[in-house]
Amino acid sequence: MDFSLRTAYAHGTQLIRTHLDSLAPQHRISFDVFKAMRERWRGRIELQAAALFPLELMEDATYLADLVRVVGEAGGVLGGVTFLHPKIEAQLDLLFETASKAGLDIDLHVDETEDRQVLTLASIASAKLRHGFKGAVNVGHCCSLAHQDEQTVSRVIDLVAKADLSVVSLPMCNMYLQGRNAGRTPRWRGVTLLKELAAAGVRTAVSSDNTRDPFYAYGDLDPVEVFREAVRILHLDHPLDNAPAVITCSPAQILGRPELGCLAEGGGADLVLFSARRWSEFLSRPQSDRVVLRGGRAIDRRLPDYRQLDSLLGADHA
**pLDDT, tens only, 105-159:** 999 999 999 999 999 999 999 999 999 999 999 999 999 999 999 999 999 999 9
pLDDT digit string (tens) for 61-104?
A: 999 999 999 999 999 999 999 998 999 999 999 999 999 999 99
Beta partners for 106? Answer: 78, 137
Let me know: does 44 contact 71? Beta carbons within 8 Å: no
Per-residue buried b or exposed e for 190-209, using 16+ beta carbons within 10 Å of the residue's own CB? bbbbbebbbebebbbbbbbb
Active site residue 112: yes
Q: How many CA atoms lie within 13 A of 27 on its CB side?
A: 26
User: What is the mean pLDDT of the segment spanning 191-218?
Assistant: 95
What is the rounded average pLDDT for all residues in the chain?
96
2-263 under CATH 3.20.20.140, yes or no: yes
Mean pLDDT value across residues 274-285: 96
In the predicted model, what is the mean pLDDT of residues 257-284?
93
Strand partners, 184: 181
Q: Please report the pLDDT score of residue 210 as a whole number.
A: 86
CA Rg, the chain, in Å?
Answer: 20
**Quick check: 234 pLDDT over 70?**
yes
AA identity, residue 157: I
* pLDDT band, residue 293 (cuts 50/70/90): very high
Instruction: Please give the pLDDT value at position 22.
Output: 97
Distance, CA of 98 to CA of 102 (rounded, Å):
6
Distance CA 245, CA 30 (A): 31
pLDDT of residue 186: 94
User: What DSSP letter does each residue of 148-167 carry, written as one string?
Assistant: S-HHHHHHHHHHHHHHT-EE
Pairing of strands 15-21, 271-273: unpaired
Active-site entry in 112, 114, 150, 225: 112
pLDDT of residue 317: 66
Predicted pLDDT of residue 112: 96
Domain boundaries, the chain: 2-263
Percent of the chain exceeding pLDDT 70 equals: 99
pLDDT of residue 318: 60
